[in-house]
Structure 1
Amino acid sequence: MDHGNLDKAMELFALLIVGEEISNVQHVDLYEAYQNNSEVYDILMSVLKKSNLSLYEFGSSLYVTAGEGNRIFGFTNDELKRAIGLRLNRELYLAYFIIYNIILIFYQDSGSFSYAEYVRCEEVVAQTDSSMQRALKALHDKALNAVEENSFQTLAALWEDMPLVPGNDDMASLKAARGSKTGFIKLVFNFLISQDLFFESQGRYYIKPRFRALAENYYEENRGRLYSIVTGGDKDASY
């Protein structure tokens, strides 16, 4: 093994795990080493695999994300609840569902990625309402197992009990909070902003390249059962 190649691979790894963007604009030499040096590539991929991290490439840039159950680079449920500002597990699962629906707004299938620049809270409310209704319909029309049925019923009850906004508050000026659909979605967006996935300007949430990388690769690899339920897709899609 060439020690220079090892050093480059570990430098790539060290930057990626702290959220640095490795691209053909930033860190040009490292990006070229990843692209053109097979030993650097193999070392990096081996270290990422052993660390339970996935490497995604988008727009000539490299990003990493934690694999399932990664206790070092990922979040536990309790850590996520604290990071988002939630108290209950069912609130966290609703946040997951909302994030999934934010992805759906931008990406409906593997052959058609929407390059809309931004989304508003009201669009996410509408998308989540629609997906929830389809999920509830699936309770009657599809053979959902007991876990799926209970999960969707719990999420639907929590979502439907929330007003759009509390009292007569204006949607645009409403702060992030757990007491309404719009406030809850703003909590979720605040978390996504903290993870460098979106930025906000005048009530518009603009998608960032890191989110695009995760969304595209997620749909190619993990679309599965939830996608089929909330979109009315192939009911035999794999988990």
Structure 2
Amino acid sequence: MSSESPMLEAVDLHKRFGELNVLNGVSLSVPRGKVMCLLGPSGSGKSTFLRCINHLERVDGGRIRLDGELIGHVERNGVLHELPGRRIVHQRQRIGMVFQQFNLFPHLTVAQNIALAPTTLRKLSKSAARQRALELLDRVGLRDKIDVYPSALSGGQQQRVAIARALATDPKLMLFDEPTSALDPALVGEVLAVMRDLAADGMTMVVVTHEIGFARDVAHLTAVLDGGEVVETGPSERVLESPGHPRVKEFLKHVR
């Protein structure tokens, strides 16, 4: 794809859960190598939007493209047809996701957690997968924890391992769903530092967060969702310092 084409493009996404409309025509575009933060009140559709990007939730309307490729579907004569499960799994390898809860397997060591996807999905040898785990643990500052179990780690350390695990398949896009909200305040900084380093290295990222300082200092773009709609989007400095929409002004007043 052209270096000028977006890494992620979501067009007119709709998602319902029963009678509840969670996404109402969400359209967002993230250039390659850039960071977008998603802000908004609880229940505004931010987490659902992330889960639709990697097809953990099926959209009821609209299209998502990663690096120009339609995610979760193939289009024939203007009609979307869902891809087979194995194709969707293959696509998900290109999208790393870090959740609010760390979701590490408690019965596996740190190395085994990180190596699981490369060995099972990419058929990497155990020795090569362990070497990759070492490299990623270096990146998140936890090389000395390679053979410990998650229960021996702090919350911040577990989340850093979760980031390393998400990076293990060399994704083109990283998704973060409130990655610091389950952490003690003293541990938030160590996770944000890893995310700042990823951004500095040019990783394309979409981050759901209430960390306004991170959005202001790191994110190139900020989008604010409310009621399943994008009510404002643009360069982070403008959205955060001079919002135009009254709902955005009210939201920021309460979270600063």
Greater strand share, 1 or 2? 2
Q: TM-score surpassing 0.5?
A: no
Greater helix share, 1 or 2? 1
Larger Rg: 1
More relative contact order in 1 or in 2 (CA 8 Å, sep 6+)?
A: 2
